[in-house]
Amino acid sequence: MPSASAAPFPLDRSTAHLCIDMQRLFAEPSPWAVDWLPRVLPNVSAIARRHPERTIFTRFIPPAQPDEMTGAWRDYYRQWREVTREQLEPRLLELVPPLAELSPPAITLDKQLYSAFANTRLAQGLAKRGITTLVVTGGETDVCVLATVMAAVDRGLRVVLPTDALCSAHDKTHDALLTLYRERFSLQIQTTCTERVIEEWD
């Protein structure tokens, strides 16, 4: 299906900020470090501070042991055993400090899978609050953000992506995903910048 252009999505009381996995695990030296997470952190923080009461943080929580998972996930953690909870420093699962201090009033939800919607409380909470538009920030653009964005689209939510508030460990696939969002999903996903989100979100 070809894509098309759409008018900018309104950022109003039906908007929430969903910040994906901005944790010490990805910000500090670790097997899963994302080198340029610190570069986007000021932008993520600025958006979260705009409306902390309308912000939802997610945390990616690995299993204690690989055998707690099934199928390909079990195989995955057998390869990444050093990031299972039995080996990982617990503090690495915490949100990075500038964001941790915002919760509460921001909400923090934990998940074991890529998509934020793997935690069923997310969809329930959005529906209860009448949220129809999500501003999505965090990482990684081509993994957990990707899974979350596509799940949001399937649920009929409008998605706004401030591209300077997204990060990945891989520049090539980060850029490819931004191209995909712009060229194939422009009626459901809009790319913008942090400055415009802050200016337009009443």
- At 4-14, the pLDDT tens digits run 456 678 899 99
Mean pLDDT score, 18-24 = 98
CA distance 201 to 47: 9
Q: What percent of the chain is predicted at pLDDT more than 70?
A: 97
Q: Tell me, what's the pLDDT at 126?
A: 97
Mean pLDDT score, 98-116 = 97
∠ CA 131-62-30, nearest 5°, is 105
Residue 2 per-residue DSSP state:
-
**Three-class DSSP category at 110:** strand
Q: Tell me, what's the pLDDT at 194?
A: 97
Residue 5 lies in a domain: no
- Side chain identity at 47, as an amino acid letter? I
Q: Tell me, what's the pLDDT at 141?
A: 96
Residue 44 lies in a domain: yes
pLDDT digits (tens, 9 = 90+) for 145-188: 999 999 999 999 999 999 999 999 999 999 999 999 999 999 99
Residue 155 lies in a domain: yes
Number of domains the chain is built from: 1
Q: Tell me, what's the pLDDT at 6?
A: 62
Residue 7 lies in a domain: no
Q: How many other C-beta atoms lie within 10 A of the C-beta of residue 120?
A: 9
Q: What percent of the chain is predicted at pLDDT more than 90?
A: 95
CA distance 171 to 201: 29
Residue 1 lies in a domain: no
Residue 106 has pLDDT above 50, yes or no: yes
Residue 134 has pLDDT above 50, yes or no: yes
Q: Tell me, what's the pLDDT at 202?
A: 78
Q: What is the CATH number of the domain that holds 164?
A: 3.40.50.850
Domain span including residue 140? 15-200
Average pLDDT, the chain: 95
**Three-class DSSP category at 162:** strand
Residue 73 lies in a domain: yes
∠ CA 88-90-92, nearest 5°, is 80
Give Cα separations from 65 to 77, 82, 85 (angstroms): 8, 10, 7
Q: Tell me, what's the pLDDT at 9?
A: 87
Residue 149 lies in a domain: yes
Residue 3 has pLDDT above 80, yes or no: no
Mean pLDDT score, 104-133 = 97
Q: Tell me, what's the pLDDT at 1?
A: 47
Residue 172 lies in a domain: yes
